[in-house]
Amino acid sequence: MKCPHCEAIIPFLLCGKCGESIPEKSNYCCWCGSQVSPKEEQGDFSTRVLCRDGTCIGVINDLGVCNICGKPLVG
């Protein structure tokens, strides 16, 4: 995630409700307004699904697509 003004890299996490990227220390999602729980902030690795592309490091979000390359889980 890049700052729209200075283009500095901002650490991010994914909203558990809408799957969009939000700044790492956010209390609320800037896209859907849902509250970010402490579990989301730390990351829940027990339920993550890795991208089907063997060269991508992303995980499948709640929308069913990879958070890095955008490929769907199935298809």
- DSSP per residue over 60-75, as a string? B-TTSBBTTT--BS--
Task: Give the model confidence (pLDDT) of 6-41 as tens digits.
Answer: 888 888 888 888 888 888 888 888 899 988 876 544
- Collapsing DSSP states into helix, strand and coil, what is residue 15? coil
Task: Give the model confidence (pLDDT) of 35-70 as tens digits.
Answer: 887 654 455 677 788 898 888 888 888 888 888 898
* pTM of this structure: 0.43
Domain ranges of the chain: 12-43, 45-75
